[in-house]
Amino acid sequence: MKRQVIVTSDDFGLSAGVNRAVEKAWRDGVLTCASIMPGAEAFDDAVEVALRNPGLQIGLHLTLVQGRAVLPAAELAGLTDRDGNFPDDPVAAGMRYFFDAGLRGPLRREIEAQIVRVKEAGLDLSHIDGHLNINLHPTVFGILSELMPRHGISTFRLSRERLLHNLSHDRERIAGKAVERVIFGALSRHAARELKLRSIMAADEVKGVLNSGRMTEAYVLAILPGLGKGTSELYFHPGILPDAEITRRMPDYRHEAELAAITSPAVRHRLNELDIRLVNYRGEVKC
């Protein structure tokens, strides 16, 4: 089976610096998809970028932590603060979303509102993933599994990644990566069963979970030969600095290095050399 790779930028719409990076990565690099944040400050600018680059496939970067809601705070009792901001602590938020049954109605309304906002902006949604992998949260995933068929969304990100393959090329954060592998691996296995029942597709493996914010050219070149059969997704957080919002939100992420990796001639050459086909979530080939 021929190997394929999807290359995605997360956080599309977060800021002008992210949006500029996405457009450059699409036009000059190997980017095939971008996942948009409907409540983010630069959403309208991201829509303009997407509309003038119609080949760039758009997914929903579902945001329920560290971001802003689409619906007014008055309609989301207990889910956001008075200004419409979600909690910054993903662990505390995740516990509340799981145990507080009273939040399920507001969560469902907000999740659908995010889907609808992207569609009403004139963008065709191909897939769903989530900010900090919130799409895999059991309560959130239960809602998504009902909404995706209704809105014609047939692909989904499962954040499953081989730990040993990662550690053979990057030995940083070993304990943290092990914990993430256990958590996201278990959540992905649970979600995969439901996706199969609903005929919703997912990549066989995702690269970017364990090296989030550090998907550099050197790391990408190192992992490409070891990609498995079938379809892999590599996701990045590219940005062009200075940009106050991405620096505030992700001070340790190497945004410009990740953009350099996506636009690297060496990466494109290596993909060609390894006969790995560049595709988007619909399987359309990028030349």
DSSP alpha helices (H): ranges in the chain? 16-28, 43-51, 90-99, 104-120, 138-150, 163-167, 174-197, 217-223, 244-249, 255-262, 265-273
In order of their start, the domains of the chain are 4-279 (3.20.20.370)
Hey, CA dihedral for 109, 110, 111, 115, is it positive or negative?
Answer: positive
First-last CA distance in the chain: 19
Q: Which amino acid is at 48?
A: E
| CA 158/CA 1 separation, integer angstroms | 21
* DSSP result, 98-115: HH-GGGHHHHHHHHHHHH
Predicted confidence at residue 138, as pLDDT, reads 97
Predicted confidence at residue 287, as pLDDT, reads 75
pTM as predicted: 0.96
* Residue linked to tokens 């060609």: 272
CA–CA distances in Å: residue 126 to residues 56, 110, 174, 181: 11, 19, 33, 26
Hey, CA dihedral for 211, 233, 138, 178, is it positive or negative?
Answer: negative
Predicted confidence at residue 163, as pLDDT, reads 97
- Residue by residue, pLDDT tens for the chain (287 residues) are 789 999 999 999 999 999 999 999 999 999 999 999 999 999 999 999 999 999 999 999 999 999 999 999 999 989 999 999 999 999 999 999 999 999 999 999 999 999 999 999 999 999 999 999 999 999 999 999 999 999 999 999 999 999 999 999 999 999 999 999 999 999 999 999 999 999 999 999 999 999 999 999 999 999 999 999 999 999 999 999 999 999 999 999 999 999 999 999 999 999 999 999 999 999 999 97
CA–CA distances in Å: residue 219 to residues 34, 96, 247, 275, 280: 21, 36, 22, 19, 21
For 78, other C-beta atoms within 10 Å of its C-beta total: 9
Q: Which amino acid is at 112?
A: E
